Amino acid sequence: MLIMYTNISKKQKPGAASFHLHLNMQLNISRYWWCQIFGWGVFGLANIFFAYTYGQEITAKMIIRLLIVLALGIPITHLLRNVIIRKKWLVLPIEKIITRLFFSLVTASLIYSLCSLSLFEWFNLSEVNPETKAPFIDRVVLRTFDSSLFLMVWLLIYYVYHYFQKNKKQEVDTFRLQSLVKELELKTIKSHINPHFIFNSLNSIRALVDENPERARRAITELSNILRSSMQTEKLETVPLEQELNIVRDYLALEQMRFEERLKVDFDIDEDTLSQPIPPMMLQTLAENAIKHGISKQVNGGTVFISSDFVGGHHEIIIRNSGILNGHADHIGFGLQSTQDRLNLLFGQKATFEIKDIPGNMVEAKVVMPVNNMR
Tell me the pLDDT tens digit for each residue of 24-44.
Answer: 545 555 788 888 889 898 988
Phi then psi for 327, rounded to 5 degrees?
75, 15
pLDDT of residue 366: 96
Q: Which structural domains are found in the chain, ordered by start?
A: 17-177 (no CATH), 212-370 (3.30.565.10)
10 Å Cβ neighbour count for 57?
Answer: 9
- Per DSSP, the residues of 166-181 read HHHHHHHHHHHHHHHH
Concatenated DSSP letters for 201-220? Answer: HHHHHHHHHTT-HHHHHHHH
Q: Look at the pTM and tell me if it is higher than 0.85.
A: no
CA distance 54 to 239: 72
Kindly calculate the radius of gyration of the chain based on its CA atoms and give it in whole angstroms. Answer: 37
Residues 6+ apart with CB under 8 A from 313: 371
Look at residue 187 in the predicted model and tell me its pLDDT: 61
- Model pLDDT, residue 251: 86
Phi, psi (degrees; rounded to nearest 5) at 287 = -65, -40
Element (H, E) at 355: strand 352-358
Under 8 Å between Cβ of 305 and 342: no
Q: How far apart are CA 221 and CA 14, in angstroms?
A: 57
Cα gap 159→104, rounded to integer Å: 14
**Contact present, 255 and 215 (Cβ < 8 Å):** no
Is residue 274 within 8 A of residue 242, CB to CB? The reply is yes
Contact 339, 286 (CB under 8 A): yes
Task: Give residue 3's pLDDT.
Answer: 36
Nearest to 189 by CA among 338, 343, 335: 338
**Calpha distance 143→112 (Å, rounded):** 9
Burial of 298 per CB tally in 10 Å (0-12, 13-18, 19+): middle
**Which residues share a beta bridge with 357?**
363
Q: Are 248 and 197 in contact, with CB atoms under 8 Å apart?
A: no
Q: Residue 123's pLDDT is what?
A: 84
Q: How much is the pLDDT for 175?
A: 75
Residue 2's pLDDT is 35
Spans of the chain, pLDDT less than 70: 1-29, 127-133, 177-197, 200, 230-235, 326-335, 373-375
SS3 81: helix
Rounded-to-integer distance, Cα 300 and Cα 323, Å: 11
DSSP 4-66: ------TTS-HHHHHHHHHHHHHHHHHHHHHHHHHHHHHHHHHHHHHHHHTT----HHHHHHH
DSSP 227-291: HHHHHHTTT-S-EEHHHHHHHHHHHHHHHHHHHGGGEEEEEEE-GGGTT-EE-TTHHHHHHHHHH
Give the CA distances from residue 115 to residues 119, 205, 216, in Å, rounded to whole numbers and listed in that order: 6, 93, 96
The two counts, helices (H) then strands (E), for the chain are 8, 7
Terminal-to-terminal C-alpha distance of the chain: 48
